[in-house]
C-alpha cells in the first residue's frame, strides 16, 4: 500500500474535532449535485469515507436514505452520534475496499467528499460501478487550499517555515489559481472505462481564522497529524507569532472544491 493510502488512517485521531474544524461544503454544490444526477430524496445513496458526517448531514437533512462507509472506528462512532436522528442513515465501519454490501443491493448515487483519493485506485472505479444501479452516478469532491489572485501573503511567509522544517510543498509554489487547474478526477473517471463525465463545477470561497482556529484546522490534515512533534510545535509557534503581529490576529484562507459527476456506463 502506498504512503498516501497509509496516511488515510491518521484522520481517526482527529475524530473529536474534525467536524467543527473543517469547513462546510457550499450549499450550491449540493443543489448542483441533485440537478446533474436527477436524484431525489427517495434515492438510496452510498457515501465512501463519510468521516464524522461532514457531507452526510446535509444529504440526510434532505431526506435521502444513506449507507455510509467509514474506515476509522472513532470517526464512524462520531458519525453515528451526529446522524442518530435520521432513521434512513446507517454508518458502517469498514474500508470501501473490504466492505461487502448485502446481496442484490444497488445504489442510485455513490458519493465521496474529500475521501475518494484515499481509496485504492485498483479497486474503486470497478467496485463503484458494480454497486450502482443502471444509469447511477458517481460524484466526488474535495475541499482544497486555493490560491486565487490576491491570496493572503501569510501563506507565502509561512511556506518558508515549512521549507525550513523539511515539509515543503514539493511542487512549484504558489500553485496555479483554482480556475487554471485541470480536474484530475474527470480524467480518472473517463480512463477507468466505467464512467462518463456528465458534469464538473468549481467552487471557491474564503474563511477567516484566528491562530487557534487555524491550528485546529491543521490538526485535521494527515500531513500535520503525522508530522514529527518537534516540527509541528515549531510550525505552530511560528503561526501564532506571525498572526499575533497582525492587527486583527487573523488570516484568510481560500478554499476550492471541484464537483465531478460521472454516469455509470
CA trace torsion 163, 169, 170, 176 (10° rounding): -130
Question: Domain coordinates of the chain in residue numbers?
Answer: 3-148+176-208+254-264
Cα 44 from chain centroid (whole Å): 21
Phi/psi at 176 (5° precision): -60, 155
pTM attached to this predicted model? 0.95
Contact present, 10 and 226 (Cβ < 8 Å): yes
What local confidence, expressed as pLDDT, does residue 170 receive? 78
Domain 3-148+176-208+254-264: CATH superfamily, name plus number: Vaccinia Virus protein VP39 (3.40.50.150)
Cα 103 from chain centroid (whole Å): 29
Phi/psi at 77 (5° precision): -65, -40
| Rg value, the chain, Cα | 19
C-alpha cell, 37: 444526477
C-alpha cell, 33: 449535485
Q: Is 138 helix (H, G, I), strand (E, B) or coil?
A: strand
What local confidence, expressed as pLDDT, does residue 1 receive? 40
Q: What is the mean pLDDT of each run of 10 residues along the chain (265 residues)?
A: 70 96 98 98 96 98 98 98 98 97 95 96 97 97 96 96 91 92 95 98 98 98 96 98 98 98 98
C-alpha cell, 146: 486555493
Amino acid at each position: 500500500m502506498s504512503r498516501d493510502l497509509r496516511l488515510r488512517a491518521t484522520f481517526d485521531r482527529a475524530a473529536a474535532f474534525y467536524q467543527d474544524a473543517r469547513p462546510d461544503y457550499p450549499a450550491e454544490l449540493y443543489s448542483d449535485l441533485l440537478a446533474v444526477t436527477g436524484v431525489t430524496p427517495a434515492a438510496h445513496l452510498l457515501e465512501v469515507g463519510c468521516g464524522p458526517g461532514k457531507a452526510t448531514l446535509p444529504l440526510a437533512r434532505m431526506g435521502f436514505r444513506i449507507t455510509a462507509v467509514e474506515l476509522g472506528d472513532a470517526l464512524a462512532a462520531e458519525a453515528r452520534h451526529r446522524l442518530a436522528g435520521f432513521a434512513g442513515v446507517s454508518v458502517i465501519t469498514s474500508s470501501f475496499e473490504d466492505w461487502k454490501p448485502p446481496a442484490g443491493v444497488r445504489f442510485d448515487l455513490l458519493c465521496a467528499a474529500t475521501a475518494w483519493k484515499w481509496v485504492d485506485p485498483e479497486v474503486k472505479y470497478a467496485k463503484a460501478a458494480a454497486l450502482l444501479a443502471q444509469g447511477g452516478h458517481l460524484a466526488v469532491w474535495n475541499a482544497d487550499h486555493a490560491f486565487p489572485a490576491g491570496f493572503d501573503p501569510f501563506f507565502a511567509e509561512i511556506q518558508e517555515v515549512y521549507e525550513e522544517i523539511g515539509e515543503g510543498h514539493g511542487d512549484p509554489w504558489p500553485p496555479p489559481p483554482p480556475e487554471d487547474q485541470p480536474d484530475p478526477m474527470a480524467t480518472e473517471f473517463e480512463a477507468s472505462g466505467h464512467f462518463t463525465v456528465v458534469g464538473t463545477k468549481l467552487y471557491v470561497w474564503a474563511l477567516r481564522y484566528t491562530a487557534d482556529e487555524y491550528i485546529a484546522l491543521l490538526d485535521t490534515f494527515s500531513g500535520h497529524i503525522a508530522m514529527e512533534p518537534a516540527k509541528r510545535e515549531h510550525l505552530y509557534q511560528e503561526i501564532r507569532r506571525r498572526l499575533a503581529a497582525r492587527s486583527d490576529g487573523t488570516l484568510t484562507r481560500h478554499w476550492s472544491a471541484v464537483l465531478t459527476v460521472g454516469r455509470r456506463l
